[in-house]
Amino acid sequence: MQPSHLPADGHVVADAPFEDAGLRSTLSCFPTGVTVVTTAAADGRWIGVTANSFTSVSMRPPLVLWNLACKSPSLPAFEQCQRFAINILAADQAGICRQFAAPAADKFAGVDTSAGLDGVPLIDGAVAHLECRTAAIYPGGDHLILMGQIVRYRSRKAAPLMFCKGILSSLNQEALAAL
């Protein structure tokens, strides 16, 4: 690894190759929303994972993408699914975020859901749902990049759940009043 140095502002600067912990800490400076991506597996089981690697790609056609670790036990279901849903979590859904981020036999236990297209579960109380048709899957290092074309969406006025520097939070009330 190349040496790091301390500039006048006290921040560590590193050149490639990077230490995983240092790079992860630097990337965590970017606040993101939090989603749970859901699908129905071929055998009918519901699959869901917490993901903050979500972004809008295009308006015409309406495309979004998200990333899933290649080591995820949910990977085969998402590689094979025809549809998935992006559930953008509300500020009061931090427990759901944690539940879907941890390994569990039934991540949906105690979570209120509604049926989306083709039986894909939608998490009740989410700020928004984007129901997608799988459009493409690309390799991306130790992750797969999954692109979806939005076929149905809905949203409501509510504070979204935010993630930054390892902390779940919400926007302050003054910022929300301006929405």
The full length of the chain comes to 179
- Report the 10 Å Cβ neighbour count for 159: 17
Burial readout 100-110 (b: 16 or more C-beta within 10 A, e: otherwise): beeeeeebbee
In DSSP notation, the chain reads -PPPB--TT---B-PSSPPHHHHHHHHTTS-EE-EEEEEE-TTS-EEEEEE--EEEEEETTEEEEEEEETT-TTHHHHHH-SEEEEEE-BGGGHHHHHHHHS--S-TTTT--EEE-GGG-EEETT-SEEEEEEEEEEEEETTEEEEEEEEEEEEE-S-PBEEEETTEEEE--HHHHHT-
Structure-token pair, residue 119:
């039986």
Residue 97 is predicted with a pLDDT of 95
Q: What is the mean pLDDT of residues 8-34?
A: 73
105-162: pLDDT as tens digits: 899 999 999 999 999 999 999 999 999 999 999 999 999 999 999 999 999 999 999 8
Q: pTM for this one?
A: 0.86
**Domain positions in the chain:** 32-163
Structure-token pair, residue 151:
């076929």
Residue 15 is predicted with a pLDDT of 79
d(CA 160, CA 141): 29
d(CA 98, CA 161): 12
Domain 32-163 classified CATH 2.30.110.10?
yes
Give φ, ψ of 107 to 5 degrees.
-70, -20
63-108: pLDDT as tens digits: 999 999 999 999 999 999 999 999 999 999 999 999 999 999 899 9
pLDDT category, 3, cuts 50, 70, 90? Answer: very low
